[in-house]
Amino acid sequence: MLFRFEDVHKSYGGHDILRGVTCQVNPGEKIGLVGRNGAGKSTMLRLLCGLDQPDRGQIIRATNLSFGLLEQHPHFPRK
C-alpha cells in the first residue's frame, strides 16, 4: 500500500468537500483524479501531502514515501 484514505471528511466554511472518502492506492497502480470544479480533487492532494488535515477519518501513508504538490495558482517571487 502506498496510501489509504479511511472515512475522510473535509469541509471549508460549512461546505462539505469530502464526505466519507475511502480509497487505497497500491504500488504499481496508476490512478487519475477526474471531476468537476469543487469536487475535491485538490483537497485530496493537499490532504495526501499533509498540507491540510482531515476533519474526520485518517490518511495512512507508506513509510519513506514522499509527496509533492504544485499549487493550481503558484506564486513565484520575482527576482
**Cα 1–chain centre separation:** 16
In this prediction, residue 16 carries a pLDDT of 96
pLDDT per position as a tens digit, 9-48: 999 999 999 999 999 999 999 999 999 998 999 999 999 9
Asked if 47 and 8 touch (Cβ cutoff 8 Å), the reply is yes
pTM attached to this predicted model: 0.87
The CATH architecture assigned to 3-61 reads: 3-Layer(aba) Sandwich (3.40)
Whole-angstrom distance, CA of residue 32 vs CA of residue 78: 33
Q: Render pLDDT for 38-57 as a digit per residue (tens, 0 to 9).
A: 899 999 999 999 999 999 99
